[in-house]
Structure 1
Amino acid sequence: MSQNLFPEIRKVADETEKLADKDNTTFESTTEDDERPVQEIESLCMRCHEQGVTRLLLTSIPFFREVVIMSFRCESCGFQNNEVQQAGTIRLEGAVYTVRVLTREDLNRQFVKSATATIQIPEFELTIPASRGQLTTIEGLIRDTVTDLSADQPLRRIENEAVYQKIQTIIDGLKEVLADHEDEADEDATGEVKLPKKASEKDAPMRPFTVRLDDPSGNSFIEFNGSMADPKWNMRTYHRTRQQNIDLGLINPDEPEAPQGDSEAEAEEGLKNEEIFVFPGTCSSCGHAINTLMKKVNIPYFKDVIIMSTNCDICGYRDNEVKSGSAISAQGKRITLKVEDKEDLSRDILKSESCGLQIPEIELVLQEGTLGGRFTTLEGILEQVYEELSVKVFTDARRGDDKFEEFLARLKAVKSAERPFTVILDDPLANSYLQNLYAPDPDPNMTIETYDRTWEQNEQLGLNDMKVEGYEEDAAEESEKQETPAAQS
């Protein structure tokens, strides 16, 4: 039934082309409704109030889902509008798609944006809020953005010069990606009118950038190349917040919150029992005054930790860290986990600043201090590793390194638990933790070893010069030495 009502978009395109070639006519002039992939409905034009035509195309996008593509045109005033609506239900989780646009071929990736999705291009400091649904390419998205931003620029230049200059910088950067000036140069050189090339077909240099699509409904999509192992492409799902469910119309805002499970209720009660401390400070990004929230939390079967969170409402800077709230352990700790399926990815993990992380199967080694202190899930920490490496390394000199792209593909397979792998946490201060699903019984897939720190490790941690016993006598001797010269004088 789905295949009959929502044929694949490539199949629709092929059938449309055949109908266009048949008897030198187009599908619009075909009299048999069954052969017409596009349905036409007379509609009222909201601009001139004359009758226009809305064309509906029911189709499915490979590796995504069924959609309805709508196109309206009014012959009286020339107004036209295109929109995409989802033909299925809202998904259980939201989704974030991230694509690294490194070459011009990446501009040709198919792009499906629902009415609830927001788009970010961090390199241009550009955020596109949720608006109408759209089926296009990354190049089409950029062209539409340039058109929308340019429309009110003359007025902005008069009303607010600073805003005008900021937006013009974004427009100029996006125009460099499109490289439309090359078409003008070709026309001037030959004196002939040529059809403009797509930006993906031009030879002009292009600044690499990132496209991030965040849709709480999960009904958006960016095309990958070949398979989901595409190292330039990444998808992450997340649980919607209550407010997001309200915005999507899934929850009545007047309804009370659903009761939590016992473990969640206990965890929340534990958080409520601890006081939250607020420390004023300065944002390291924009310099405005902000507050850092700090809270002491007990992790069952582990120890107390301190969670710190800093959020700047002015520039959007965010930072979250986790530090140990207990005394320094006498020995270090090494935790080894054999990950066999996706269930293991949901384990809670606390990686302190002093902890290193290894995955031998893909030759991944993170030194101490990488990512700072983090309290998340195993899937979350692997996602952070992937994003950090793909964002920072794809834009440096290693860009285009086939070996590194192969490494990212292996990392992507690991973070999806497509094959078994091993995670090793090595923390000289024993301040890291990996959830034991069988607690308080031993976990058959996890081994925990304690070891004595080396002198070099203690030196690096500053423990060799730290004295915790008998320091009162040393303080008294130091005080006497300072008093003696004063008395002699």
Structure 2
Amino acid sequence: MSQQIESVKKPIFQELTADDPDAEATVIESMCMNCEKNGTTKLLLTKIPHYKDVILMSFDCEHCGFQNNEIQNGGKINENGIKIELEMTNENDLNRQIVKSDYTCVKIPSIDFEIPPQSQKGEVTTVEGIIDRVIAGLIQDQSKRREENPDIAAEIDLFIIKLKALKIIDEPYKIIFEDITGECHVENPNSPQRDHHVKISHFVRSEEQNKMLGIFEANNDELLKPIAPGTFTLEQLEGEVLTFPTNCPECNNPCSTNMKMTNIPHFKEVVIMATVCDICGHRTNEVKSGSGIEPEGIKIEVKINDREDFSRDVLKSETCAMEIPELDFEVGSGALGGRFTTVEGLLTATKDQLISSSTFDGDSADISAGKRLDKFTKILDEILDSKRSITLVLDDPAGNSYIQSLADSGCDDRLKITRYIRNYDQNEELGLNDMKVENY
């Protein structure tokens, strides 16, 4: 009697749950860096809920007892790097949780201090934890320095005093986190309200930074080769749905992405991409501009008063930030990605992401933060039920966002559109400052 065994497809990166206590770990024999004998390394591919795929590594040497635990990014690298400027104003800021990768550079300009990338491993810590770790590292060899070079030891003692003074916060100072992988995060203790003490910007990596991450661009000569005559026309591209292989952003298994070019009336051409994973069921939709960056940025303000306003079509590009001034709420450009939806769909997606995407959810989460989130989501429910009026603001430096006007002719008094000249920082974030546009 033949027995059929049905193979069950599982995500490559699985969540750690009580239902599956015996998660599959890969065990390999590897050399101990302490005694140079062979020890054991265990690798576990898992995911931090609502954050990212990670590889947990645990090493243990039975000969000398040396142990080491590390965490590495298992997902794809972000398109842009991130720069976070945190203004330290009181001792509560020392408790802000920080997620930093191996490539995070930490700077404190007031004392001319810098932790270069790859000098510390990626970790989840606090601002105070970063300062304490630096102090412990400097104190470690001080007794030896005092014997060999007392002048340098005295200078380090003075610098340690400066570092300890940072924990008292007699006056405000700034800490800068700069990460070329874009994988750094600073906790917002007032979430979901805006964090007035944090400034976040993104930047385009240089060629040297890409090489540090193992990213190499294709040969420009290959990219600039003309398409063979008759291969595709613009009309064919607009009429066809193209499919190409990719990896699921949720479980990292192979899947397919469908792409279609379409034209939004009275606006411009856009590219709509949709991905559906057959293994974990994850669905994602993304919209990108099909016509590059506009000469000017655009700021769109629309008053949301009734159900009619919820039906307005909205194109939010991946470079567009969203704001609701009445709630002191702001969403950065990368939070919701590019979307072609309605006002109602955009607010619903914002609510869903707030509920499901807190990096620091868990047993140690701040109870007051959970209460603030519950209160905020109830306010969003009231807005979606047309019980509250708000102003929705879209600010897109690339000029590729759009909200539908409900006026067939004349002026829509609820809709205000302002175009502006981008500043240097906005051009830097879009990668325009170093772009060569003449004699190319």
Normalization by structure 2: what TM-score? 0.45
Normalization by structure 1: what TM-score? 0.40
> Which one has a bigger Cα radius of gyration?
1
Question: Which one has the bigger strand percentage?
Answer: 2
Question: Which one has the bigger helix percentage?
Answer: 1
